Structure 1
């Protein structure tokens, strides 16, 4: 986006809100939105079915709805957690029970659907939460069990390969270029693996066993350096990677994000640290090369953060919004807005999204669109 409103004292204007994505916490869905042009895609759930909604991103008008029957367990709701991936005119969704589906973005026709359970996958505690990742001709997810990492043909849905055995994590694939070749980092339930996307073969694995397998943040890549973080007392680590091996550069036990991705800006990491079970946490700034903490604050609760037009937009788990100017020397709060959404009884874990000057905030059955333009 180009240029955002930085004075929020009169609140951001809400353009629209829909409240039909699921039925509150019993069928809770925590997926965020994917936007391409005027098409916005967001998953939902009813009692027996995974749902996919395509809305007009500008008006909130419903364009199409897709669904398929999918039995689901109930902890934290039966709905999807992973955010859709849009690739040209196809959109890929991954449900909490392991159903990977490919839809036509324009009219909602389902091209194909596959289940990682059929390949030997084992659903992790609290359900599959990975966002599918499209790389070249493949769409890649974690399946766990005998199908820790699975690659399907993005056009046909046919299995291309499955690789490794172990507990699925909650993190999406991240590409890394080493010696002019592109590989994929997979933060799964037992560690961080670097794999060859051609056949799924593993180059190396760094053991990182978090309670319940909750490795949920996306690794951050800067050249050949990789940063990753987990909660449950694990903290964070940075490594220098090559095709043959990795070397640990630093470890920081205090920067411990359970499932909130930090942001790397000009050599410094900014992000929330703390367990996602409460709105109490710290927002920290650390130096990427050394792991040294520059500052921390507890003035913004616990939540998620995104980087937009030179600013950090932070949202705590009660949908209070904060606009922060990134500065490694000090915490610099520019503006804030309380209670973007009303009646947030539980915790709003879904990160906000900005596209085309609009800020989208999702909480369970509700999705609201705010105008960010100056």
Structure 2
């Protein structure tokens, strides 16, 4: 399991993989299986709790599809096919006004899924899609962030290729807004109105969050190579690189 578990009430929900067990929930006290759902291989993405079409549910991206699950009993509420090479769905889903944004690298692309409740049942369909080699956003392993109607994230070109752009798009339309070409691979988190980006080469890059264009505020080489994102708490940043765990004073 490469994804992070989701804790909900007395349950811990994880990707397992297999027939009827793509997603499973276990009791946090005794480890007993509470429920399992969906078929197919496990994804690298983490199960995420969000409100979709007016209902709180688990949204999971397995190796072959995105689906909504009732957290109380594991009932699948809706599915949307999203097969990728090597079952490599890694980025987490993002909630956008009750819809669900998913993205994958390996030259795959992204989709905004429109989920509606019709006659008591959930229906999932494409709101907009941008897939294959001309996609506007191909998150290889990094989850995009949503700010004021815009998605900011990494667009990786090719099958795990070396070229990666830092990109801003309109969330509800998929329209490209700006792109910092060949920015390089990294990870990002949102804090204090800024993108805190950790690159694979060991740099911490601070970028202003604005749809007006790429605005770099500063950068410094502070750690060894890493694919990890920065964790921020109480004015300090924590990151694990290839050698150690580092604490950085941010204030």
Q: Give the TM-score normalised by structure 2.
A: 0.91
Q: Does 1:202 align with 2:85?
A: no
- Structure 1 outlier segments of 4+, above 6 Å: none
Distance (Å, rounded) in 2 between the aligned partners of 1:144 and 1:134: 18
> Over residues 209-243 of structure 1, what are the superposed CA-to-partner deviations in whole Å (9 max), with x where a residue is unaligned?
11110101000002311111001121111122124
Distance (Å, rounded) in 2 between the aligned partners of 1:298 and 1:290: 21
Q: CA deviation at 1:309?
A: 1.0
- Residue 130 of structure 1 corresponds to 3
- Residue 350 of structure 1 corresponds to 228
Q: Does 1:250 align with 2:131?
A: no
Distance (Å, rounded) in 2 between the aligned partners of 1:237 and 1:336: 32
- Residue 265 of structure 1 corresponds to 147
Q: Is the CA contact (8 Å cut-off) linking 2:163 and 2:182 kept in structure 1?
A: no
> Over residues 247-286 of structure 1, what are the superposed CA-to-partner deviations in whole Å (9 max), with x where a residue is unaligned?
2111122310111111100110001111695653100000
1:238-317 maps to which residues of 2 (within 5 A)?
A: 238-243=112-117, 244-252=122-130, 253-274=135-156, 277=160, 280-298=163-181, 300-317=183-200
Q: Is the CA contact (8 Å cut-off) linking 1:279 and 1:316 kept in structure 2?
A: no
Q: 5+ residue gaps in structure 1?
A: 1-127
Aligned match of 2:206 in 318, 323, 334?
A: 323
Q: Look up the SS of the partner of 2:229 in the other structure.
A: coil
Distance (Å, rounded) in 1 between the aligned partners of 2:13 and 2:218: 39
Distance (Å, rounded) in 2 between the aligned partners of 1:254 and 1:269: 11
Q: Is the CA contact (8 Å cut-off) linking 2:53 and 2:98 kept in structure 1?
A: no
Rate the CA distance shift 1:365–1:190 in 2: closer, same or farther, 3 A: same
Structure exhibiting the larger radius of gyration computed from Cα positions: 1
Distance (Å, rounded) in 1 between the aligned partners of 2:241 and 2:85: 26
Q: Look up the SS of the partner of 1:212 in the other structure.
A: helix
> Over residues 81-119 of structure 1, what are the superposed CA-to-partner deviations in whole Å (9 max), with x where a residue is unaligned?
xxxxxxxxxxxxxxxxxxxxxxxxxxxxxxxxxxxxxxx
Q: CA deviation at 1:299?
A: 5.6
Q: 5+ residue gaps in structure 2?
A: none
Q: Is the CA contact (8 Å cut-off) linking 1:279 and 1:318 kept in structure 2?
A: no
Q: Is the CA contact (8 Å cut-off) linking 2:231 and 2:238 kept in structure 1?
A: yes
Count matched residues: 241
Q: Look up the SS of the partner of 2:153 in the other structure.
A: strand
- Residue 139 of structure 1 corresponds to 12
Q: Does 1:170 align with 2:44?
A: yes
What is the RMSD of the two structures over their aligned residues, measured on CA atoms?
A: 1.7
- Residue 214 of structure 1 corresponds to 88
Q: Does 1:341 align with 2:215?
A: no
> Over residues 109-165 of structure 1, what are the superposed CA-to-partner deviations in whole Å (9 max), with x where a residue is unaligned?
xxxxxxxxxxxxxxxxxxx21100001221100100132111011222221111222
Distance (Å, rounded) in 2 between the aligned partners of 1:298 and 1:185: 31
- Residue 239 of structure 2 corresponds to 361
Distance (Å, rounded) in 1 between the aligned partners of 2:232 and 2:182: 23
Rate the CA distance shift 1:367–1:279 in 2: closer, same or farther, 3 A: farther
- Residue 190 of structure 1 corresponds to 64
Distance (Å, rounded) in 2 between the aligned partners of 1:180 and 1:257: 27
Q: CA deviation at 1:181?
A: 2.8
Q: Give the TM-score normalised by structure 1.
A: 0.62
Higher relative contact order (CA 8 A, sep 6+): 1
Higher strand proportion: 2
